[in-house]
Amino acid sequence: MKLDNKVIDILINDAKKAYKKGEIPVSAVIVDQAGKIVSHAYNNRQNSFNVLGHAEIVAILKAEKKIKDWRLDGYKMVVVLEPCDMCSMVISKCRIDEVYYFVLQKSQDVINDFNINKKVIDGYKDEKVLLENMLLNFFNNMR
């Protein structure tokens, strides 16, 4: 997938915002059929005291509110990290067509893809390294 520079900039800036707030630096952007950004979000689970505060779910809720429909057929999501099972299920239920991510989950938490079309983003080496390093730094600083 060829990504718009604006999508990448928002994804990286939102991941940095999450990191600075002590959240796992994951962000998500949802684009419509024309490639226009509909919503974006970053993890806020710790600061909102909400287990559902994953970037993917927050971005989905914003998109649904904006378009006034829970069905996101034809929409695509770009996310920093491969979605977890909870997010994958929500993505599947709201009918997002494709999910693109930079970093593959390293844990065994992802056990079911819930029939969503997930793809690792090819290219964008510098951006991928930046996002991977942000995640590694976050988790290394927790120890």
Set 23, 56, 64, 98: catalytic member: 56
Catalytic status, residue 56: yes
Long-range contacts from 2-8, C-beta under 8 angstroms, 24+ separation: 3/78, 3/100, 3/121, 3/124, 4/31, 4/35, 6/37, 7/31, 7/37, 7/78, 8/124, 8/127
Hey, which residues are catalytic here?
A: 56
